[in-house]
Protein backbone atom coordinates (compact mmCIF):
# COMPACT_ATOMS: atom_id res chain seq x y z
CA UNK A 1 0.00 0.00 0.00
CA UNK A 2 1.32 3.42 -0.97
CA UNK A 3 2.11 6.11 1.53
CA UNK A 4 -0.72 8.29 0.11
CA UNK A 5 -3.22 5.48 0.63
CA UNK A 6 -2.06 4.88 4.20
CA UNK A 7 -2.38 8.52 4.95
CA UNK A 8 -5.86 8.66 3.47
CA UNK A 9 -4.84 11.24 0.84
CA UNK A 10 -6.13 10.71 -2.67
CA UNK A 11 -3.35 11.30 -5.38
CA UNK A 12 -3.84 14.00 -7.99
CA UNK A 13 -4.08 12.93 -11.66
CA UNK A 14 -2.59 15.05 -14.48
CA UNK A 15 -5.16 17.08 -16.21
CA UNK A 16 -6.26 15.79 -19.58
CA UNK A 17 -4.26 17.18 -22.52
CA UNK A 18 -5.91 19.93 -24.39
CA UNK A 19 -6.66 19.34 -28.09
CA UNK A 20 -3.98 21.91 -29.09
CA UNK A 21 -1.32 20.17 -26.96
CA UNK A 22 -2.10 16.80 -28.52
CA UNK A 23 -1.62 18.25 -32.00
CA UNK A 24 1.72 19.79 -31.06
CA UNK A 25 2.92 16.49 -29.62
CA UNK A 26 1.93 14.61 -32.74
CA UNK A 27 3.81 17.14 -34.91
CA UNK A 28 6.96 16.86 -32.80
CA UNK A 29 6.88 13.07 -32.86
CA UNK A 30 6.29 13.12 -36.57
CA UNK A 31 9.30 15.38 -37.08
CA UNK A 32 11.51 13.15 -34.92
CA UNK A 33 10.38 10.08 -36.82
CA UNK A 34 10.95 11.79 -40.17
CA UNK A 35 14.44 12.88 -39.04
CA UNK A 36 15.29 9.40 -37.87
CA UNK A 37 14.01 7.99 -41.13
CA UNK A 38 16.10 10.43 -43.17
CA UNK A 39 19.15 9.71 -41.03
CA UNK A 40 18.70 5.98 -41.43
CA UNK A 41 18.26 6.46 -45.17
CA UNK A 42 21.42 8.54 -45.39
CA UNK A 43 23.33 5.92 -43.46
CA UNK A 44 22.10 3.25 -45.83
CA UNK A 45 22.96 5.49 -48.80
CA UNK A 46 26.51 6.09 -47.55
CA UNK A 47 27.19 2.49 -46.62
CA UNK A 48 25.57 0.89 -49.63
CA UNK A 49 25.33 3.22 -52.60
CA UNK A 50 28.16 5.74 -51.96
CA UNK A 51 30.53 3.29 -50.35
CA UNK A 52 32.89 2.88 -53.37
CA UNK A 53 33.20 6.65 -53.76
CA UNK A 54 33.82 7.25 -50.06
CA UNK A 55 36.24 4.35 -49.87
CA UNK A 56 38.19 5.85 -52.75
CA UNK A 57 38.24 9.27 -51.15
CA UNK A 58 39.48 7.84 -47.88
CA UNK A 59 42.15 5.76 -49.58
CA UNK A 60 43.28 8.79 -51.56
CA UNK A 61 43.99 10.57 -48.28
CA UNK A 62 45.67 7.69 -46.48
CA UNK A 63 46.83 5.03 -48.96
CA UNK A 64 49.92 5.70 -51.08
CA UNK A 65 51.89 3.81 -53.67
CA UNK A 66 55.55 4.31 -52.82
CA UNK A 67 58.41 3.72 -55.24
CA UNK A 68 61.12 1.28 -54.16
CA UNK A 69 64.44 2.47 -55.63
CA UNK A 70 66.30 -0.05 -57.79
CA UNK A 71 69.98 -0.77 -57.29
CA UNK A 72 72.08 0.31 -60.30
CA UNK A 73 74.34 -2.37 -61.74
CA UNK A 74 78.00 -2.48 -60.82
CA UNK A 75 80.84 -1.83 -63.27
CA UNK A 76 83.95 -3.95 -62.71
CA UNK A 77 87.31 -4.48 -64.37
CA UNK A 78 88.20 -7.75 -66.09
CA UNK A 79 89.18 -9.32 -62.74
CA UNK A 80 85.98 -8.32 -60.93
CA UNK A 81 87.44 -5.30 -59.13
CA UNK A 82 84.69 -2.66 -58.63
CA UNK A 83 84.99 0.51 -60.69
CA UNK A 84 81.48 1.92 -60.13
CA UNK A 85 79.11 0.95 -57.32
CA UNK A 86 75.87 2.31 -55.88
CA UNK A 87 75.61 3.09 -52.17
CA UNK A 88 72.38 3.77 -50.21
CA UNK A 89 71.68 7.41 -49.33
CA UNK A 90 68.72 9.33 -47.94
CA UNK A 91 67.00 12.36 -49.46
CA UNK A 92 65.11 14.65 -47.09
CA UNK A 93 62.03 16.46 -48.35
CA UNK A 94 59.28 18.51 -46.78
CA UNK A 95 55.75 19.79 -47.26
CA UNK A 96 56.27 23.55 -46.82
CA UNK A 97 52.68 23.94 -45.63
CA UNK A 98 53.33 21.57 -42.72
CA UNK A 99 56.65 23.03 -41.61
CA UNK A 100 56.48 24.92 -38.29
CA UNK A 101 56.69 28.71 -38.33
CA UNK A 102 58.49 28.69 -35.00
CA UNK A 103 61.96 30.25 -35.48
CA UNK A 104 63.58 27.95 -32.93
CA UNK A 105 62.47 24.79 -34.74
CA UNK A 106 63.48 26.21 -38.10
CA UNK A 107 66.87 27.18 -36.71
CA UNK A 108 67.37 23.64 -35.41
CA UNK A 109 66.39 22.27 -38.84
CA UNK A 110 68.70 24.65 -40.69
CA UNK A 111 71.68 23.75 -38.51
CA UNK A 112 71.02 20.02 -38.88
CA UNK A 113 70.88 20.48 -42.67
CA UNK A 114 74.07 22.55 -42.67
CA UNK A 115 72.29 25.63 -44.02
CA UNK A 116 71.77 29.20 -42.94
CA UNK A 117 68.38 30.00 -41.40
CA UNK A 118 67.86 32.85 -43.85
CA UNK A 119 68.54 30.57 -46.82
CA UNK A 120 66.12 27.94 -45.52
CA UNK A 121 63.39 30.52 -44.90
CA UNK A 122 63.79 31.91 -48.41
CA UNK A 123 63.38 28.43 -49.94
CA UNK A 124 60.35 27.67 -47.78
CA UNK A 125 58.76 30.95 -48.85
CA UNK A 126 59.48 30.17 -52.51
CA UNK A 127 57.70 26.81 -52.24
CA UNK A 128 54.95 28.01 -49.88
CA UNK A 129 52.16 27.28 -52.36
CA UNK A 130 53.40 23.76 -53.08
CA UNK A 131 53.31 20.53 -51.14
CA UNK A 132 56.83 19.30 -51.92
CA UNK A 133 60.37 20.64 -51.70
CA UNK A 134 63.80 19.05 -51.30
CA UNK A 135 65.67 19.85 -48.09
CA UNK A 136 68.89 17.92 -48.80
CA UNK A 137 69.63 15.19 -51.28
CA UNK A 138 71.94 12.22 -50.98
CA UNK A 139 72.75 12.40 -47.30
CA UNK A 140 74.35 9.47 -45.54
CA UNK A 141 71.82 7.49 -43.51
CA UNK A 142 73.51 8.66 -40.29
CA UNK A 143 73.33 12.34 -41.22
CA UNK A 144 69.71 12.02 -42.32
CA UNK A 145 68.75 10.29 -39.10
CA UNK A 146 70.16 13.18 -37.06
CA UNK A 147 67.71 15.48 -38.87
CA UNK A 148 64.78 13.08 -38.49
CA UNK A 149 65.49 12.72 -34.78
CA UNK A 150 64.48 16.36 -34.35
CA UNK A 151 60.89 15.22 -35.13
CA UNK A 152 60.05 18.45 -36.90
CA UNK A 153 56.58 18.29 -38.51
CA UNK A 154 56.56 18.21 -42.30
CA UNK A 155 60.06 16.66 -42.72
CA UNK A 156 60.19 13.30 -44.50
CA UNK A 157 62.84 10.91 -45.84
CA UNK A 158 63.19 8.93 -49.06
CA UNK A 159 65.70 6.18 -49.78
CA UNK A 160 67.85 6.54 -52.89
CA UNK A 161 71.20 5.38 -54.29
CA UNK A 162 74.35 7.33 -55.06
CA UNK A 163 77.07 6.31 -57.50
CA UNK A 164 80.59 5.93 -56.12
CA UNK A 165 83.76 5.44 -58.17
CA UNK A 166 86.55 3.74 -56.17
CA UNK A 167 89.24 4.60 -58.74
CA UNK A 168 88.27 8.28 -58.83
CA UNK A 169 90.04 10.32 -61.50
CA UNK A 170 91.95 7.30 -62.82
CA UNK A 171 88.96 5.95 -64.77
CA UNK A 172 86.76 9.07 -64.84
CA UNK A 173 86.52 9.71 -68.60
CA UNK A 174 85.95 6.08 -69.51
CA UNK A 175 83.26 5.33 -66.93
CA UNK A 176 81.55 8.72 -67.07
CA UNK A 177 79.11 9.86 -64.39
CA UNK A 178 75.47 9.75 -63.37
CA UNK A 179 73.36 12.75 -62.40
CA UNK A 180 71.68 13.36 -59.06
CA UNK A 181 68.85 11.02 -60.10
CA UNK A 182 71.41 8.24 -60.83
CA UNK A 183 70.92 8.43 -64.61
CA UNK A 184 74.01 8.07 -66.82
CA UNK A 185 75.23 11.34 -68.31
CA UNK A 186 78.69 10.57 -69.72
CA UNK A 187 80.86 7.67 -70.83
CA UNK A 188 79.89 4.06 -70.29
CA UNK A 189 77.33 5.11 -67.67
CA UNK A 190 75.44 6.79 -70.52
CA UNK A 191 76.19 4.20 -73.21
CA UNK A 192 74.84 1.33 -71.06
CA UNK A 193 72.16 3.25 -69.17
CA UNK A 194 69.41 0.82 -70.16
CA UNK A 195 71.47 -2.16 -69.01
CA UNK A 196 72.80 -0.67 -65.77
CA UNK A 197 69.58 1.00 -64.59
CA UNK A 198 67.25 -1.21 -62.59
CA UNK A 199 63.44 -1.25 -62.62
CA UNK A 200 61.96 0.47 -59.53
CA UNK A 201 59.52 -1.50 -57.40
CA UNK A 202 56.19 -0.43 -55.87
CA UNK A 203 54.56 -0.91 -52.48
CA UNK A 204 51.19 0.06 -51.00
CA UNK A 205 51.50 1.91 -47.68
CA UNK A 206 49.22 3.63 -45.19
CA UNK A 207 50.18 7.19 -44.22
CA UNK A 208 48.66 9.76 -41.91
CA UNK A 209 47.53 13.20 -42.99
CA UNK A 210 51.06 14.54 -42.49
CA UNK A 211 52.49 11.98 -44.86
CA UNK A 212 54.14 9.86 -42.18
CA UNK A 213 54.28 6.12 -42.72
CA UNK A 214 51.81 4.22 -40.54
CA UNK A 215 52.02 0.71 -41.98
CA UNK A 216 53.24 -1.27 -44.98
CA UNK A 217 50.20 -2.91 -46.57
CA UNK A 218 51.42 -4.81 -49.62
CA UNK A 219 54.34 -5.28 -52.00
CA UNK A 220 53.00 -4.56 -55.48
CA UNK A 221 56.20 -5.04 -57.46
CA UNK A 222 59.71 -5.98 -56.41
CA UNK A 223 62.57 -3.72 -57.48
CA UNK A 224 64.71 -5.28 -60.21
CA UNK A 225 68.43 -4.43 -59.86
CA UNK A 226 70.34 -3.28 -62.93
CA UNK A 227 72.74 -5.53 -64.81
CA UNK A 228 76.44 -5.56 -64.06
CA UNK A 229 79.05 -4.57 -66.64
CA UNK A 230 82.47 -6.22 -66.90
CA UNK A 231 85.06 -4.14 -68.72
CA UNK A 232 88.14 -5.33 -70.57
CA UNK A 233 90.09 -2.87 -68.42
CA UNK A 234 92.75 -4.18 -66.05
CA UNK A 235 92.67 -1.89 -63.02
CA UNK A 236 96.35 -2.58 -62.23
CA UNK A 237 97.44 -1.48 -65.69
CA UNK A 238 95.04 1.47 -65.61
CA UNK A 239 96.49 2.84 -62.37
CA UNK A 240 100.02 2.42 -63.65
CA UNK A 241 99.30 4.02 -67.05
CA UNK A 242 97.50 6.96 -65.44
CA UNK A 243 100.32 7.53 -62.97
CA UNK A 244 102.99 7.60 -65.69
CA UNK A 245 100.90 9.80 -67.98
CA UNK A 246 100.14 12.33 -65.25
CA UNK A 247 103.82 12.53 -64.32
CA UNK A 248 104.84 13.06 -67.95
CA UNK A 249 102.25 15.80 -68.54
CA UNK A 250 103.49 17.61 -65.43
CA UNK A 251 107.15 17.12 -66.34
CA UNK A 252 106.73 18.63 -69.81
CA UNK A 253 104.14 21.25 -68.81
CA UNK A 254 101.84 19.81 -71.46
CA UNK A 255 98.19 20.55 -72.17
CA UNK A 256 97.25 16.92 -71.73
CA UNK A 257 97.95 13.38 -72.82
CA UNK A 258 96.61 9.94 -73.69
CA UNK A 259 97.69 6.36 -73.13
CA UNK A 260 95.78 3.51 -74.79
CA UNK A 261 96.83 -0.11 -74.33
CA UNK A 262 95.18 -2.96 -76.24
CA UNK A 263 95.54 -6.69 -75.84
CA UNK A 264 97.32 -7.61 -79.07
CA UNK A 265 95.55 -10.98 -79.16
CA UNK A 266 91.95 -9.85 -78.62
CA UNK A 267 91.71 -6.09 -79.19
CA UNK A 268 90.43 -5.57 -75.62
CA UNK A 269 91.23 -2.21 -74.04
CA UNK A 270 93.47 -3.03 -71.06
CA UNK A 271 94.14 0.60 -70.15
CA UNK A 272 92.87 3.99 -71.30
CA UNK A 273 94.23 6.99 -69.41
CA UNK A 274 93.50 10.66 -70.05
CA UNK A 275 94.89 13.96 -68.85
CA UNK A 276 93.50 16.30 -67.64
CA UNK A 277 91.06 14.38 -65.48
CA UNK A 278 88.64 15.03 -62.60
CA UNK A 279 87.29 13.37 -59.48
CA UNK A 280 83.80 12.02 -60.26
CA UNK A 281 83.08 11.65 -56.53
CA UNK A 282 83.53 15.39 -55.94
CA UNK A 283 82.56 17.56 -58.88
CA UNK A 284 82.90 20.91 -57.17
CA UNK A 285 84.78 23.26 -59.48
CA UNK A 286 84.71 20.72 -62.29
CA UNK A 287 86.44 21.79 -65.52
CA UNK A 288 84.31 20.55 -68.45
CA UNK A 289 87.52 19.86 -70.39
CA UNK A 290 88.21 17.00 -68.00
CA UNK A 291 84.98 15.21 -68.93
CA UNK A 292 86.15 14.40 -72.47
CA UNK A 293 87.57 10.97 -73.17
CA UNK A 294 90.23 12.25 -75.52
CA UNK A 295 91.38 8.75 -76.44
CA UNK A 296 88.07 8.04 -78.21
CA UNK A 297 86.40 11.35 -79.10
CA UNK A 298 89.38 13.56 -80.10
CA UNK A 299 90.97 13.29 -83.53
CA UNK A 300 94.22 14.75 -84.85
CA UNK A 301 96.80 14.32 -87.59
CA UNK A 302 98.96 11.39 -86.48
CA UNK A 303 102.18 12.26 -88.31
CA UNK A 304 105.06 9.81 -88.61
CA UNK A 305 103.44 7.00 -86.61
CA UNK A 306 101.55 6.23 -89.84
CA UNK A 307 104.73 5.40 -91.77
CA UNK A 308 104.83 1.67 -90.88
CA UNK A 309 101.24 1.27 -92.10
CA UNK A 310 102.01 3.20 -95.28
CA UNK A 311 105.12 1.06 -95.77
CA UNK A 312 102.98 -2.07 -95.49
CA UNK A 313 100.65 -0.72 -98.18
CA UNK A 314 103.58 -0.13 -100.54
CA UNK A 315 105.13 -3.55 -99.93
CA UNK A 316 101.81 -5.27 -100.64
CA UNK A 317 101.77 -3.88 -104.19
CA UNK A 318 104.93 -5.80 -105.07
CA UNK A 319 106.27 -2.67 -106.77
CA UNK A 320 108.56 -1.85 -103.85
CA UNK A 321 111.10 -4.69 -103.35
CA UNK A 322 112.31 -5.40 -99.83
CA UNK A 323 115.88 -4.40 -100.79
CA UNK A 324 114.83 -0.98 -102.17
CA UNK A 325 117.18 1.90 -101.42
CA UNK A 326 115.92 5.49 -101.67
CA UNK A 327 118.16 8.51 -102.12
CA UNK A 328 116.75 11.20 -99.80
CA UNK A 329 119.42 13.79 -100.60
CA UNK A 330 119.52 16.75 -100.22
CA UNK A 331 116.94 16.32 -97.42
CA UNK A 332 114.16 18.30 -99.06
CA UNK A 333 111.98 18.27 -102.16
CA UNK A 334 109.16 20.32 -103.73
CA UNK A 335 105.85 18.70 -104.74
CA UNK A 336 103.00 20.82 -106.11
CA UNK A 337 104.77 23.95 -104.81
CA UNK A 338 104.90 22.43 -101.31
CA UNK A 339 108.30 21.89 -99.73
CA UNK A 340 108.80 18.62 -97.84
CA UNK A 341 111.77 18.33 -95.49
CA UNK A 342 113.64 15.87 -93.32
CA UNK A 343 115.42 16.97 -90.16
CA UNK A 344 118.71 16.53 -92.03
CA UNK A 345 120.11 15.03 -95.22
CA UNK A 346 120.16 11.26 -94.64
CA UNK A 347 121.34 10.36 -98.14
CA UNK A 348 120.56 6.79 -99.23
CA UNK A 349 118.25 4.84 -96.95
CA UNK A 350 116.88 1.30 -96.95
CA UNK A 351 113.21 0.72 -96.16
CA UNK A 352 114.05 -0.01 -92.54
CA UNK A 353 116.31 3.07 -92.53
CA UNK A 354 113.42 5.24 -93.77
CA UNK A 355 111.37 4.17 -90.76
CA UNK A 356 114.28 4.48 -88.35
CA UNK A 357 115.18 7.99 -89.51
CA UNK A 358 111.48 8.83 -90.02
CA UNK A 359 112.28 10.27 -93.44
CA UNK A 360 109.44 12.22 -95.05
CA UNK A 361 111.44 12.37 -98.28
CA UNK A 362 111.87 8.61 -98.40
CA UNK A 363 108.17 7.95 -97.82
CA UNK A 364 107.14 10.59 -100.37
CA UNK A 365 109.39 9.19 -103.10
CA UNK A 366 108.06 5.68 -102.50
CA UNK A 367 104.45 6.89 -102.62
CA UNK A 368 105.01 8.76 -105.88
CA UNK A 369 106.40 5.61 -107.52
CA UNK A 370 102.99 3.97 -107.33
CA UNK A 371 100.25 4.53 -109.89
CA UNK A 372 97.39 3.79 -107.47
CA UNK A 373 96.73 5.45 -104.09
CA UNK A 374 97.18 2.20 -102.16
CA UNK A 375 98.11 3.94 -98.90
CA UNK A 376 94.62 5.32 -98.10
CA UNK A 377 93.09 1.97 -99.09
CA UNK A 378 95.24 0.23 -96.46
CA UNK A 379 94.37 2.90 -93.91
CA UNK A 380 90.72 2.08 -94.41
CA UNK A 381 91.40 -1.65 -94.22
CA UNK A 382 92.91 -1.23 -90.73
CA UNK A 383 89.85 0.69 -89.51
CA UNK A 384 90.76 4.33 -90.04
CA UNK A 385 88.15 6.77 -91.34
CA UNK A 386 85.32 4.77 -89.76
CA UNK A 387 83.77 4.38 -86.34
CA UNK A 388 85.65 1.97 -84.02
CA UNK A 389 82.30 0.44 -83.05
CA UNK A 390 82.79 0.47 -79.28
CA UNK A 391 79.43 2.14 -78.64
CA UNK A 392 81.08 4.86 -76.60
CA UNK A 393 79.12 8.15 -76.81
CA UNK A 394 80.69 10.54 -79.29
CA UNK A 395 83.37 8.18 -80.55
CA UNK A 396 85.18 9.74 -83.51
CA UNK A 397 85.42 8.16 -86.94
CA UNK A 398 88.30 10.32 -88.14
CA UNK A 399 88.68 11.16 -91.80
CA UNK A 400 90.59 10.23 -94.93
CA UNK A 401 90.30 12.60 -97.91
CA UNK A 402 88.13 11.57 -100.85
CA UNK A 403 89.97 10.27 -103.96
CA UNK A 404 88.72 13.14 -106.13
CA UNK A 405 90.76 15.57 -104.04
CA UNK A 406 94.06 13.71 -104.10
CA UNK A 407 97.06 15.36 -105.70
CA UNK A 408 100.71 14.31 -105.75
CA UNK A 409 101.41 16.35 -102.63
CA UNK A 410 98.43 14.74 -100.86
CA UNK A 411 99.59 11.25 -101.86
CA UNK A 412 102.95 12.06 -100.36
CA UNK A 413 101.49 13.68 -97.23
CA UNK A 414 99.30 10.67 -96.51
CA UNK A 415 102.35 8.42 -96.56
CA UNK A 416 103.97 10.34 -93.71
CA UNK A 417 100.81 10.90 -91.67
CA UNK A 418 99.45 14.29 -92.72
CA UNK A 419 96.13 15.04 -94.43
CA UNK A 420 94.10 12.55 -92.38
CA UNK A 421 92.76 12.44 -88.82
CA UNK A 422 92.54 9.58 -86.35
CA UNK A 423 91.83 8.96 -82.68
CA UNK A 424 94.28 7.29 -80.32
CA UNK A 425 91.98 4.26 -80.05
CA UNK A 426 91.80 3.93 -83.84
CA UNK A 427 95.57 4.14 -84.07
CA UNK A 428 96.07 1.39 -81.51
CA UNK A 429 93.49 -0.80 -83.24
CA UNK A 430 95.18 -0.29 -86.62
CA UNK A 431 98.48 -1.57 -85.22
CA UNK A 432 96.88 -4.83 -84.08
CA UNK A 433 97.16 -5.76 -87.78
CA UNK A 434 100.96 -5.44 -87.59
CA UNK A 435 101.01 -7.46 -84.34
CA UNK A 436 98.73 -10.26 -85.63
CA UNK A 437 100.18 -11.25 -89.00
CA UNK A 438 97.96 -8.76 -90.78
CA UNK A 439 94.70 -9.46 -88.89
CA UNK A 440 93.14 -6.28 -87.54
CA UNK A 441 91.14 -6.72 -84.34
CA UNK A 442 88.26 -4.34 -83.54
CA UNK A 443 88.71 -2.63 -80.17
CA UNK A 444 86.46 -3.70 -77.29
CA UNK A 445 85.79 -1.83 -74.06
CA UNK A 446 84.02 -4.89 -72.64
CA UNK A 447 85.64 -8.14 -71.62
CA UNK A 448 85.27 -10.74 -74.36
CA UNK A 449 84.54 -14.40 -73.89
CA UNK A 450 86.96 -15.29 -76.66
CA UNK A 451 89.19 -13.41 -79.07
CA UNK A 452 87.51 -12.35 -82.32
CA UNK A 453 88.73 -13.71 -85.63
CA UNK A 454 89.45 -10.21 -86.92
CA UNK A 455 89.84 -9.18 -90.54
CA UNK A 456 92.85 -9.79 -92.75
CA UNK A 457 93.79 -6.20 -93.55
CA UNK A 458 97.44 -6.72 -94.54
CA UNK A 459 99.28 -9.67 -96.06
CA UNK A 460 100.72 -11.80 -93.25
CA UNK A 461 104.24 -11.82 -94.69
CA UNK A 462 104.20 -8.07 -95.19
CA UNK A 463 102.98 -7.52 -91.61
CA UNK A 464 105.86 -9.63 -90.23
CA UNK A 465 108.36 -7.76 -92.36
CA UNK A 466 107.11 -4.37 -91.15
CA UNK A 467 107.17 -5.62 -87.54
CA UNK A 468 110.82 -6.53 -88.07
CA UNK A 469 111.53 -3.03 -89.41
CA UNK A 470 109.85 -1.49 -86.38
CA UNK A 471 111.97 -3.77 -84.20
CA UNK A 472 115.07 -2.14 -85.72
CA UNK A 473 113.61 1.33 -85.07
CA UNK A 474 113.77 0.77 -81.29
CA UNK A 475 117.44 -0.02 -80.72
CA UNK A 476 120.29 1.63 -78.82
CA UNK A 477 121.51 4.65 -80.75
CA UNK A 478 118.25 5.31 -82.59
CA UNK A 479 115.84 8.20 -82.07
CA UNK A 480 113.41 5.79 -80.40
CA UNK A 481 115.98 4.30 -78.01
CA UNK A 482 114.15 5.74 -74.98
CA UNK A 483 111.30 3.31 -75.70
CA UNK A 484 113.51 0.31 -74.93
CA UNK A 485 112.18 -2.03 -72.24
CA UNK A 486 114.84 -3.98 -70.33
CA UNK A 487 114.47 -7.69 -71.02
CA UNK A 488 112.05 -7.30 -73.93
CA UNK A 489 112.22 -6.59 -77.63
CA UNK A 490 110.03 -3.67 -78.66
CA UNK A 491 108.75 -2.66 -82.09
CA UNK A 492 107.66 0.93 -82.36
CA UNK A 493 107.52 4.23 -84.19
CA UNK A 494 107.86 7.80 -83.00
CA UNK A 495 105.85 10.74 -84.28
CA UNK A 496 105.92 14.51 -83.91
CA UNK A 497 103.13 16.49 -85.52
CA UNK A 498 102.27 20.17 -85.55
CA UNK A 499 98.97 21.15 -83.96
CA UNK A 500 96.28 22.90 -85.93
CA UNK A 501 93.59 25.41 -85.14
CA UNK A 502 91.07 27.43 -87.16
CA UNK A 503 93.92 29.41 -88.75
CA UNK A 504 95.98 26.39 -89.80
CA UNK A 505 99.16 24.97 -88.31
CA UNK A 506 100.23 26.57 -85.04
CA UNK A 507 103.73 27.85 -84.45
CA UNK A 508 105.76 25.98 -81.84
CA UNK A 509 102.84 23.77 -80.81
CA UNK A 510 103.25 20.01 -81.29
CA UNK A 511 101.93 16.62 -80.33
CA UNK A 512 104.46 13.96 -79.40
CA UNK A 513 103.52 10.35 -80.17
CA UNK A 514 104.80 6.84 -79.87
CA UNK A 515 103.18 3.58 -80.97
CA UNK A 516 104.73 0.35 -79.73
CA UNK A 517 104.22 -3.41 -79.87
CA UNK A 518 105.76 -5.74 -77.28
CA UNK A 519 107.25 -8.24 -77.06
CA UNK A 520 108.25 -8.67 -80.71
CA UNK A 521 108.64 -12.47 -80.50
CA UNK A 522 105.01 -12.93 -79.40
CA UNK A 523 103.11 -9.60 -79.28
CA UNK A 524 100.91 -9.18 -76.19
CA UNK A 525 100.23 -5.45 -76.03
CA UNK A 526 99.84 -2.56 -78.46
CA UNK A 527 100.27 0.83 -76.81
CA UNK A 528 99.77 4.40 -78.02
CA UNK A 529 101.16 7.38 -76.09
CA UNK A 530 100.35 10.97 -77.01
CA UNK A 531 101.53 14.07 -75.14
CA UNK A 532 99.69 17.24 -76.19
CA UNK A 533 101.81 20.37 -76.60
CA UNK A 534 104.84 19.67 -74.41
CA UNK A 535 106.58 22.91 -73.41
CA UNK A 536 109.80 21.47 -72.08
CA UNK A 537 113.22 21.50 -73.71
CA UNK A 538 112.17 18.92 -76.30
CA UNK A 539 108.93 18.11 -78.07
CA UNK A 540 109.94 15.15 -80.26
CA UNK A 541 108.07 11.88 -79.85
CA UNK A 542 111.29 9.99 -79.18
CA UNK A 543 112.17 12.29 -76.29
CA UNK A 544 108.72 12.90 -74.77
CA UNK A 545 106.34 10.01 -75.58
CA UNK A 546 108.83 7.11 -75.93
CA UNK A 547 109.97 7.17 -72.26
CA UNK A 548 106.33 6.98 -71.13
CA UNK A 549 105.85 3.93 -73.35
CA UNK A 550 108.98 2.31 -71.88
CA UNK A 551 107.72 2.62 -68.31
CA UNK A 552 104.11 1.71 -69.10
CA UNK A 553 104.94 -1.27 -71.33
CA UNK A 554 107.67 -2.54 -69.02
CA UNK A 555 105.39 -2.56 -65.99
CA UNK A 556 102.52 -4.05 -67.99
CA UNK A 557 104.59 -6.94 -69.36
CA UNK A 558 105.77 -7.80 -65.86
CA UNK A 559 102.26 -7.54 -64.39
CA UNK A 560 100.94 -9.77 -67.18
CA UNK A 561 103.75 -12.24 -66.45
CA UNK A 562 105.05 -12.15 -70.03
CA UNK A 563 108.39 -13.98 -70.35
CA UNK A 564 111.35 -11.85 -71.53
CA UNK A 565 112.47 -12.13 -75.15
CA UNK A 566 115.60 -9.95 -75.21
CA UNK A 567 118.14 -10.75 -77.91
CA UNK A 568 121.17 -12.76 -76.95
CA UNK A 569 124.23 -10.49 -76.70
CA UNK A 570 126.45 -10.70 -79.75
CA UNK A 571 129.76 -12.50 -79.30
The mean pLDDT of 279-306, rounded to a whole number, is 88
Same domain, 540 and 464: yes
* Together in a domain, 389 and 488: yes
Q: Is the pLDDT of residue 400 over 60?
A: yes
Domain-located, residue 525: yes
Find the mean pLDDT for residues 414-428. Answer: 95
Rg of the chain over CA atoms, in angstroms?
39
Q: Are residues 194 and 320 both part of a single domain?
A: no
pLDDT digits (tens, 9 = 90+) for 262-290: 999 999 999 999 999 999 998 777 777 77
307, 186: one domain: no
What's the domain count of the chain?
2
Contact predicate 147/92, CB 8 Å: yes
Cα-to-chain-centroid distance, residue 241? 18
Residues 221 and 356 grouped into a single domain? no
550 and 414 in a single domain? The answer is: yes
pLDDT for position 77: 96
Among residues 209, 230, 251, the one where a domain terminates is: 230
Is residue 490 one of the residues assigned to a domain? yes
Q: State the CATH number of the domain containing residue 328.
A: 3.40.710.10
Residues 370/376/382/387 CA torsion (nearest 10 deg)? -170
Q: Which domain holds residue 550?
A: 235-278+292-560
* Contacts with 330 (C-beta within 8 Å, 6 or more apart), sequence order: 345
**Does residue 152 share a domain with residue 127?**
yes
pLDDT digits (tens, 9 = 90+) for 161-171: 899 999 999 99
pLDDT, tens digit, for every residue of 440-489? 999 999 999 999 999 999 999 999 999 999 999 999 999 999 999 999 99
The CATH number that applies at residue 118 is: 3.90.1310.10
Task: Evaluate whether residue 32 is within a structural domain.
Answer: no
Q: Which residue has the higher pLDDT, 43 or 196?
A: 196
- Per-residue pLDDT reduced to its tens digit, 46-58: 676 656 655 555 5
Provide CB contacts within 8 A for 282, sequence distance 6+.
Answer: none
The verdict on residue 569 lying in a domain is no
Residues 395 and 248 in one domain: yes
On the CB side of 335, how many CA atoms lie within 13 Å of its CA? 19
Q: Which amino acids are annotated catalytic?
A: 304
Q: pLDDT band at 5, cuts 50/70/90?
A: low
CA atoms within 13 A on the CB side of 554: 14
Mark whether 86 and 221 lie in a shared domain: yes
Claim to verify: residue 423 and residue 492 sit in the same structural domain: yes
Instruction: Considering only the C-alpha atoms of the chain, give the largest distance between any 2 of them, rounded to a whole number of Å.
Output: 163
478: which residues sit within 8 A by CB, 6+ positions away? Answer: 356, 472
**pLDDT computed for residue 571 by the predictor:** 39
Identify whether residues 196 and 305 lie together within a single domain.
no
Q: Give a yes or no: residue 313 inside a domain.
A: yes
| Residues 351 and 487 grouped into a single domain | yes
Angle, vertex CA 199, rays to CA 194 and CA 200, nearest 5: 140
Domain annotation covers residue 55: no
Does the residue 381 lie in any domain? yes
State how far the Cα of 44 lies from the Cα of 65, in Å rounded to an integer: 31
Please report whether residue 283 resides in a domain: no
Cis peptide leading into residue 519 (ω within 30°) = yes
Amino acid sequence: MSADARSGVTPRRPPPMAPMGKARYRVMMTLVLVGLTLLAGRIVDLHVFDRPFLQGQGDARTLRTDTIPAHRGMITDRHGEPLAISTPVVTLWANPQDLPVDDIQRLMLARALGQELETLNERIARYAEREFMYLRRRLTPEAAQRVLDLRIPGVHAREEYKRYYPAGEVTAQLLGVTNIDDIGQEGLELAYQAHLAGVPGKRRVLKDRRGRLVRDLALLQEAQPGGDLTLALDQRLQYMAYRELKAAVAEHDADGGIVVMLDARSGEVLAMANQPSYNPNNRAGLDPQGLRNRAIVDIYEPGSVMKPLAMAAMLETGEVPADTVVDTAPGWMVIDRFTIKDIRNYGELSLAGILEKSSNIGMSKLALRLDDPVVPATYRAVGLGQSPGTGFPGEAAGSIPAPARWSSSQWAALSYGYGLSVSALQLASAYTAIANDGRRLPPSLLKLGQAPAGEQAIDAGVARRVLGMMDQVVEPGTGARRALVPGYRVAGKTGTVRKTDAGGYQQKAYRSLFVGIAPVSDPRIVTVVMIDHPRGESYYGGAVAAPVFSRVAGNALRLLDVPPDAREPES
